[in-house]
Amino acid sequence: MAHAYAPGLTVTPRIRHRCRRVLPIAGKVLVAKGDQVAARDVVAETFMPGDVMPVNLANALSLPPADVPECLLKAEGDRIEVGDAIAQTKGMFGWFKSEYKSKVAGTIESISNVTGQMIVRGEPLPVQVQAYLTGEVAEVVPNEGVVIESDVTFIQGIFGIGDETFGPIRMACASQDDSLTAERITADMKDAIVIGGARMTGDAVRKAIEVGAAAVVAGGMDDQDLREILGYDLGVAITGSERLGVTLIITEGFGEIAMAKRTFDLFASRAGDEAAVNGATQIRAGVMRPEILVPCTKAASSGEQSGKHTPGLLDVGAPVRIIRDPYFGMIGSVAGLPSELTVLGSGSKARVLDVTVESGDVVTVPRANVEIIEE
Partner 1 sequence: MSQIDPDKIEVILATDCGSTTTKAILIEKVDGEYRQTYRGEAPTTVEEPAADVTVGVVNAVTEVGELAGRRLIDDNGNILRPSNGKDGCDIYISTSSAGGGLQMMVAGVVREMTAASAKRAALGAGAIVMDVIASNDKRLPHEQIQRIRELRPDMILISGGTDGGTTTHVVQIAELVAPAKPQPRFGGAFRMPVIYAGNADAASLVEDVFDDSVELSVVPNLRPVLERENLGPARDAIHDLFLEHVMAHAPGYEKLIEWTDAPIMPTPGAVGNILQTIARRQGINAVGVDIGGATTDVFSVFTAPESEEPAFNRTVSANLGMSYSISNVCAEATLPSILRWVHFDMDERELRNRVKNKMIRPTTIPQTLEALVFEQAVAREALRLAYDQHKAFATTLKGVQQQRTVGDTFSQESSGQTIVDNMRLDLLVASGGVLSHAPRMEQTAAMLIDAFQPEGITTLAKDSIFMMPHLGVLAQVHDQAAMEVFERDCLVYLGTCVAAKGTGKLGKPCFQYKVDGGGLNEAGELNVGEMKRLPLDAGQSAHISIEPAIGFDFGAGPGKPVEQNVRGGTVGLILDARGRPLILPVSASDCRAAVTSWIEALELYPQT
Which residues of the chain form contacts with partner 1 (CB under 8 A)?
4, 24-26, 49, 51-54, 65, 109-110, 112, 114-115, 117, 119, 121, 158-159, 222-224, 226, 233-237, 253-255, 281, 283-286, 323-326, 328, 344-350, 365-366, 368-369, 371
Find out whether 356 and 364 touch, Cβ atoms under 8 Å.
Answer: no
Closest separation in Å from C-beta 131 to partner 1? 22
Closest separation in Å from C-beta 117 to partner 1? 5
Residues in the chain: 375
Which of left, alpha, beta for 138 (phi over 0: left; psi -120 to 50: alpha)? alpha
192/249 with CB nearer partner 1 = 249
25/38 with CB nearer partner 1 = 25
Closest separation in Å from C-beta 24 to partner 1? 8
The amino acid at residue 230 is L
- Give whole-number Cα distances, 211 to 187, 189, 222, 281, 321, in Å: 5, 7, 22, 25, 34
Closest separation in Å from C-beta 46 to partner 1? 11
What phi, psi does 261 have (nearest 5°)? Answer: -60, -40
Closest separation in Å from C-beta 211 to partner 1? 27
Measured at the CA of 295, the angle between CA 127 and CA 263, to 5 degrees, comes to 110
Buried b (16+ CB within 10 A) or exposed e, 305-339: eeeebeebeeeeebbbbbbeeebebbbbebeeeee
211/350 with CB nearer partner 1 = 350
49/212 with CB nearer partner 1 = 49
Closest separation in Å from C-beta 96 to partner 1? 26
Closest separation in Å from C-beta 68 to partner 1? 12
CA 260: distance to chain centroid?
A: 22
Q: Which residues contact 253 (CB under 8 A, 6 or more apart)?
A: 158, 159, 220, 323, 328, 329
87/296 with CB nearer partner 1 = 87
112/130 with CB nearer partner 1 = 112
> Residue 72 gets which letter from DSSP?
B
Distance CA 149, CA 18 (A): 4
Residue 115, exposed/middle/buried by CB under 10 A (0-12, 13-18, 19+)?
middle
295/332 with CB nearer partner 1 = 332
